[in-house]
Structure 1
């Protein structure tokens, strides 16, 4: 077997099993110049495109292509969510012990400081539901990544918040943090649009963490000549989490496409009741799951290029507002696959669900 022959055989696996693969291989090998050792990019793209299309059946129909594309999107979103969730388990936790003490000393030198964490694990859910509760009802709408809030004991610091902010930036730079410029904060005048300068905020990043420092004199009961300070410490998204999400997206999309083709061919010559059950359950599942998948993939794309830390995972809305619809949608897809599994597959044709 030549190198070109082996490459063609690998590409032809995109086609469903059958004699078509051997026929195409013979044609490709006869047409290839003697000097060619690998398929051209155009050949590879055409073989993959037509091979995946052939797995769906109905050469003259376009409905199955639309259904397969939607199912691939949903399965890709599910694959990206699972892969990202697993990858996040390997992300470093919030600092503690000496590492946390070093950050406190840098931000609040010479002052006793405290740290308050809004979640014990990777995420924070105000409802504090058990695993069983999450399985039944999903998370609350405030489900988000856990964070660590640092603040001086007593909360208030005497002096000028402008001078303190500039000094804090210098200390963080000296400690190896990448520090942004400070922004003016305060209430905005409706008439003029000008900001009443009552505080400062800036961000600093180091070692996969983001620190947002805020000073203000707007807090109730702030003593005269003092200001309130808080520093929020979040985790940035590790590169391997993004890579896992993208790989999960592509893998899930491929599995969704192939499963649609399998179900399509299985149900082509099935009894009318089986075909109707598979078709109806698939359509309703698409209605329930497609909006969640579209929005989730958009959030994934946005989060991939965002510079700051993630507040909520890109799949969070599916576990809060869309949880019931998502659970029912997955169940209906399972019904469609079960219908295909018990159906009598066609002998030679490549049918479709639609």
Structure 2
């Protein structure tokens, strides 16, 4: 194949890359990678949450009774409480009535549920894919709880690969979309508005991450953890879900402005 034969293909490839991946110059060179990366993180967190749906339900009363009898023989753990869903907010399944709690201040209460039980009275020691957490109190009063037990499921196998794949795909999609936005508005009056909106969104989305991730890592290193905290908690979600929602609105507005921007009509101009 001659050089002249490969030239059109090469030119087409360059034009395709320019359309798909190249952000316009200026501030976009900095914020497009940051916006794309945080989009990937959020998409990965969403994918990992979806993968949690492959988990078995939390132990029911029958399964919990068998486990607790084996682990704590001779201890009457009384009534066994079973949760209404795999993840709960203050013990309740997520529904419209709990969205306000989730968004305005108490998003950190969104966490994996557990089947629980407790024992009343003084402790008498005897020898004799589920995680068991037990808290033993030094309280010796007859009517005091000296033993609290929770049973919950370990993350299902799909959580990690789903999170990784979601992160990669989300970052690529973010790069393509935000790159298109910068080229669409390049040299036009709407450019400043779009850059400002997505810049605000990028700051709001990233802001909880450097605060939450180190704190959660310190928490993991300081206490025994049979399983890592969910992906989204490392991003400060849903505790900072209000920041995420405001940022999402900014991005939607920016996309609307970019889509409504008139294309160049001058000869030789490239329309994205």
> TM-score, normalising length from structure 1?
0.60
Distance 1:299 1:149, change over 3 A: same
Name the counterpart of 2:21: 55
Aligned to 1:124: 88
Q: Assess, with a 3 A threshold, how the Cα gap between structure 1 residues 129 and 244 changes in structure 2: closer, same or farther.
A: closer
Gaps of 5+ in 1: 1-18, 27-46, 169-206
Q: Is 1:23–2:10 an aligned residue pair?
A: yes
Does the C-alpha gap of structure 1 residues 66 and 301 become closer, same or farther in structure 2, counting only changes over 3 Å? farther
- CA–CA separation in structure 1 for the residues paired with 2:18 and 2:217: 25
Scaled by the length of structure 2, the TM-score of the pair is 0.76
Q: How do 1:1-354 and structure 2 match up within 5 A?
A: 22-23=9-10, 51=17, 55-58=21-24, 61=25, 63-114=27-78, 116-117=80-81, 119-126=83-90, 128=92, 131-136=95-100, 138=102, 140=106, 141-152=108-119, 154-158=120-124, 160=125, 164=126, 167=127, 207=129, 209-216=130-137, 218-219=138-139, 221=141, 228-270=146-188, 272=189, 274-293=190-209, 308-310=226-228, 314-315=232-233, 317-320=236-239, 322-346=240-264, 348=269
Counterpart Cα distance in 1 of 2:8 and 2:40: 27
The structure with higher relative contact order (CA 8 Å, sep 6+) is 2
The list of structure 1 runs, each at least 4 consecutive aligned residues, that deviate by more than 6 angstroms after superposition, is 296-306
Distance 1:70 1:51 in 2: 19
Shift of residue 147, structure 1, vs aligned partner: 1.6
Larger Rg over CA atoms: 1
Asked whether the equivalents of residues 137 and 323 of structure 1 are also in contact (C-alpha less than 8 Å), the reply is no
Give yes or no for contact 1:72–1:256 (8 Å, CA) kept in 2. yes
Cα deviation per residue 1:207-240 (whole Å; 9 max; x = unaligned)? 2x21133444x225259xx993333223222221
Contact 1:55 1:258 in 2 (8 A): yes
Backbone CA RMSD of aligned residues: 4.0
**Closer/same/farther in 2, CA of residues 80 and 289 from structure 1, 3 Å limit:** same
Aligned-pair distance for 1:281?
0.9
